[in-house]
Structure 1
């Protein structure tokens, strides 16, 4: 039977091929050294280790931990091809020590190096926040550093929110020996921004409606990313209504549709508007808020001069402080508060300047009407001083109605420069109504008109030459002011103080001194009285001399048959003394008779003198009563 045996069926091995394989394996083993990365085959997967054949005389072993995946389970099977790093050619067990993790890391470093040379991007995941930036794990477990300035186009305050996110990065610094890799995301964003910017600027024009993303909020507005270029949406262009801060309407990241108001191609500045997309509510104000109509609104702002009321979105009116109450409030905040709903009356509408004047007091009864029905000019009122100014005193007449006393109507005789010298806030005073102005709702009052004007009788009561008892009120360098009667003063010029030369009147007169003065001139037009001290001294000296001369003539005595002769000073004294001194006992009776007759005559003359003095006193008293 013709056939072949198994030995015949199998060709005999070629000794040369075995030799070639042996030499190749010997060469491979000789080339293999520690630190090399080789491809091995998994031949056994154990509980704690994986055995791998790398074509060496002995197998290698790797810890099972190096094959655990993200879920913590082993992802290796017999027959798998894996790249490993030769850590040691032979360990204590006679096996080759291998590492898959280190091989993977070295492979990643090589890939990063190649990507850096080719200016390529690499992917990574932000895993932690570190000093100055973020830590990024590149595929393969290699750690890299992302500086804070390279995270985004603008600084990000909260870097923690990026942890766990994956991005593409550009390697800007690479040092394999030191294991230092620095990444940048900003470079990629800048390139993208420039691309979008070129496309946006090509189509951007004023009046265009565009959509953007809110990138940043400030006190004065919001920056909107239109695609590579930012535009400013100013706070005044956000709404027709009042906006205190952009955060009331927007948050960073919001999408917003706006209108391009201005675009400068040279400076690449873009101004945006949101309210311009909707119709201006002021176009309907005249129809919506006619004058004299009642409206409801909310207090949105309070100033020193009034309160702003929002009647519709974008439409506000002002209640001036003078229109809040018939009384004069100290501050608008005493009557209304922000957020309060109020009812008021439309007083005026100015569409061109977008102003509406409102009134609150018009809804209350006007106290002026009640005042005009109750009071008339000439009526005397009593009230408290509400306020004092440089020009007068304001007195409360009725609740909500004040009258003013001008400083010229405070006194007939005193020239008052500062009313506060006489009155204080809260003083209760009496005054007379001089006039009432219905148009301006003003009341003029007077205090001096309650009393008779002393100058109506001063010229007749105090004629020139009158001797008056006066009191010094003030001393100046040019004279002395004295009080003649309450509220009536006169001036004693420096030249009329004394016969001596008066350089300083204060050396001759003191405040409060009371002395006599002669009225030497009076000017009723200018209401001025001039007096003299020295004229009184002259008159008193003259009166003493005249009196002495008069008494010398009155006292006469007989001297024998030849007639009478003038009395001497001794005779006058003797006549005044009368019989006080005892007569000498040795004198004869006949000698005493002429003395008795002289005594009787002296008594008669003394009576006549007393009558004259009584007449003078009566005349002075009559003048005093007339005064």
Structure 2
């Protein structure tokens, strides 16, 4: 096959035959001479030259670059990964001149090196001019990622994004625009940055956003970050703060209840400091304040339904409408029960009916009542529990001063410690009652205003001081008693029928007694003489000294233990000793 150079030489050597065309043939001949001279120009090894595909063989592709001989390039440099050839005869291609002539007289060319050289030139131009190139993430490497930009390059982890990327693996296989920030062709080192490009874009976007912002304007932004006190919204190169109090007209426990990172939302510019580049945003301000007509919507005394959305130690918050909540205080949950915690009455998510007690539009507060749904039983307490009525109930709680008894309809009455026994001095209700006991008592007093009922346990039984004591006991009688309690001033003793009396410290002995326990002890049984009996004041005075005197022996020589079972009119033997 004749090369372009051979054709030119033949054209120059061929004489002209047509005299009438002598001028034009001469001009054409001059052009061919010039082309031939150009074809024989001096070419330099290491250059990229343009050539034409002359022939495609099994292993080689012949290329004419206008030199005196053709060049051969292995066909693999023209194949796709699937094995398809990418050129045909007559195509113009750029090739790299490696050697002017080899041992066979052919010039040595390389398509692959030409492509790489062109890529390096493009990379250098991009580096010098700050231009953007596109690269595909190939995989992870120490400190960052490897990127294909025609040749392999390095993208440090710190340059991947504006903020640290936790999972770099998710970027593999994706393409991004980047900038070349470091280049060393001799070592084949290329360092890229995506962050620098993003910063430039963000700076441009920020300037545009700053120019367009104004207070009261409604704009769209993307949730960038969420904290306990609010959310930061990306407005386009500039972040604004959406405080938790400006997210909703209703109660918000945490911003994450309303928004998620990456979500696009609509906000209102509340405040804008251009100099400091600070923006305060609002989300609830897009809508009309629901509290504007709250007094007309929820008038005092009206019955409304709502959903329990939150519980606290002091009450339950109820959503009456979107953005409007009211509080049912713990004291407004029951007419009769002492509610310790709202969870004992309602649960989150319950739909309940309540009564509006008060509306404070200025402070956006509504007081609600749950117990007001039912009639107040205390209004008719005097008719339901007239004084003197016998009632039954269950001991619900014990205190130092008495026992609370729950009556049939849930109303509590108090049995004071002084109304528990006719005969005993009760120090604590637990001496007589325990929680859960079923008791019968008498209504002593009702107080409708303060919601109180006084009950008497002892009043449900006959008064032994009126029915028994005066008939059974008299001053001067000897009685057997058991020591039940010691005090600084003496000992309280209990007679056989449960009546208590006082054995004063001065009545223990003729000798001076410093402490009652020096003479007697709890649960000790003694024979004593009644020295005082007052039924009106329910007082019974006893004396050990008088009893011993009456026996004709001193307290030091009387053995009370040996005489514990003697009848009251028997006499103790002399020589016994007081224990």
TM-score by length of 2: 0.76
2:351 to 341, 352, 374: 341
Rounded to whole Å, the distance in 2 between the matches of 1:452 and 1:381 is 16
For residues 104 and 477 of structure 2, what CA distance do their matches in structure 1 show? 148
Q: Is the contact made by 2:241 and 2:279 (CA closer than 8 Å) also made in structure 1?
A: yes
User: What is the CA–CA distance in structure 1 between the aligned matches of 2:271 and 2:499, rounded to whole Å?
Assistant: 76
Q: Superposition pairs for residues 62-101 of structure 1, below 5 Å?
A: 62-68=73-79, 74-85=85-96, 98-101=109-112
1:538-583 Cα deviation digits (max 9, x unpaired): 331269xxxxxxxxxxxxxxxxxxxxxxxxxxxxxxxxxxxxxxxx
Looking at structure 1, the residues matched to 430 and 102 of structure 2 have their Cα atoms a distance apart, in angstroms, of 111
CA distance in structure 2 between the partners assigned to 1:92 and 1:513 by the alignment: 136
Distance of 1:379 and 1:280 partners within structure 2:
56
SS of structure 2 residue aligned to 1:424: coil
Any stretches of 5+ residues in structure 2 without a counterpart? Answer: 1-14, 555-567, 571-579
Aligned length: 531
**Residues 325-364 of structure 1: matches in 2 within 5 Å?**
325-326=334-335, 328=337, 331-333=341-343, 335-364=345-374
What is the correspondence of 1:446-525 to structure 2 with a 5 Å cutoff? Answer: 446-451=456-461, 466-475=477-486, 479-484=490-495, 486-493=498-505, 496-499=507-510, 506=517, 508-519=519-530
Larger Rg: 1
| 8 Å Cα contact 2:40-2:67 kept in structure 1 | no
Shift of 1:281: 0.7
Pairs within 5 Å for 1:25-424 = 28=43, 32=45, 37-46=48-57, 49-54=60-65, 59-68=70-79, 74-85=85-96, 98-116=109-127, 118-131=128-141, 132-138=143-149, 141-157=150-166, 159=168, 166-201=175-210, 204-247=213-256, 249-264=258-273, 267-326=276-335, 328=337, 331-333=341-343, 335-364=345-374, 366-368=376-378, 372-412=382-422, 414-424=424-434
CA contact (8 A) 1:484 1:490 kept: no
TM-score by length of 1: 0.71
Label 1:462 to 1:262 Cα distance change in 2 as closer, same or farther (>3 A): farther
Give the alignment of 1:572-591 within 5 angstroms. Answer: none
Instruction: Please report the RMSD computed on the Cα atoms of aligned residues, expressed in angstroms.
Output: 4.2
CA distance in 2, matches of 1:70, 1:222: 50
2-structure distance, mates of 1:389, 1:45? 110
Contact 1:384-1:396 within 8 A present in 2 as well: yes
Candidates 433, 438, 444, aligned match of 1:434: 444
Over 3 Å counting, the alpha-carbon distance change for 1:264 and 1:518 in structure 2 is: farther
Instruction: Pick closer, same or farther for the CA change 1:465–1:173 going to 2, 3 Å.
Output: farther
Deviation string, structure 1 residues 511-563 (Cα, Å, up to 9, x no partner) = 322222345567999976654433432331269xxxxxxxxxxxxxxxxxxxx
- Comparing 268-277 with 69-78, greater Cα deviation is found at 69-78
Which of the two has greater helix per residue?
Answer: 1
How much does 1:86 deviate?
5.0
Deviation of 1:444 after TM superposition, in Å, equals 1.6
- 1:480-506 deviation digits (Å, cap 9, x = unpaired): 43224514131341x643456756754
Where does structure 1 lack aligned partners over 5 or more consecutive residues? 544-615, 619-627
Residue 21 of structure 1, CA deviation: 5.9
Summarize deviations over 1:443-497 as a string: whole Å, max 9, x none.
221223334666779799877655432212245676543224514131341x643
**For residues 87 and 409 of structure 1, what CA distance do their matches in structure 2 show?**
120
